[in-house]
Amino acid sequence: MNSAPETHPPKPYWNPYLAGFLLGLVLLASFVVMGRGLGASGAFGSVTAVAMHAVAPAHVQHNAFYSEYFGDGSSNPLKDWLVFEVLGVFVGGLLSGALANRIAVKIEKGPRVSNGWRLAGAFVGGAMMMIGAKLALGCTSGQALTGGAVLNLGSWAFMICVFAGAYALAYFFRRQWL
């Protein structure tokens, strides 16, 4: 038997309604067990704050953005709910990818864009996304998904603007994806 990847085609993705229903149940479980929803961007903030603190402690203490992650200093910012949740996201994604034969070192992009441009776009997009998430106190997980389910005013304003911003810019980036 040949165990080359092409003999194990990746399993198809789930039906989106099924995936959404299960995701909704996970979100509901988070509300019931913890009294809070899902998140992602906050964990990256904690890690960055700790890394910056290791490099330039005085700078971090005088910066209102970083110092917030350290609270009253009595606990380690990495012993944080979101940090552990996001670690779980990495593990869960890996688990699912492995079981579906979808682990592969590759670049996801449209056929008409070079690898270099795609990676540059990924870097810049990641930075833009995170600046937006920090302004809005949350990303698609913590604001749109979580706040959406509890009818949070700011989350719905945020969610509408995410779609508006994406659709407004989509035409100019069509070569990257189509």
Q: Which of residues 49-88 bind another protein (CB under 8 A)?
A: 49, 52, 63-74, 77, 79-88
Cα 9 from Cα 94, distance rounded (Å): 17
Closest distance to another protein from the beta carbon of 64 (Å): 6
Contact call for residue 20 and another protein (CB under 8 A): yes
Contact call for residue 109 and another protein (CB under 8 A): yes
Cα 50 from Cα 35, distance rounded (Å): 26
Q: Which one of residues 5, 26, 112, 175 is an interface residue with another protein (CB under 8 A)?
A: 26
Contact call for residue 117 and another protein (CB under 8 A): no
Closest distance to another protein from the beta carbon of 2 (Å): 21
Cα 36 from Cα 145, distance rounded (Å): 12
Could you tell me which of 110, 121, 115 has the C-alpha nearest to residue 169?
121
Contact call for residue 92 and another protein (CB under 8 A): yes
Could you tell me which of 23, 142, 131 has the C-alpha nearest to residue 82?
142
Q: Which one of residues 2, 17, 54, 58 is an interface residue with another protein (CB under 8 A)?
A: 17
Contact call for residue 44 and another protein (CB under 8 A): yes
Q: Which one of residues 8, 23, 76, 114 is an interface residue with another protein (CB under 8 A)?
A: 23
Residues numbered 130 to 169 that lie near another protein (CB under 8 A) are 130-169
Can you say whether the dihedral through the CA atoms of 13, 14, 20, 23 is positive or negative? negative
Q: Nearest 5°: CA angle at 176, between 171 and 178?
A: 75
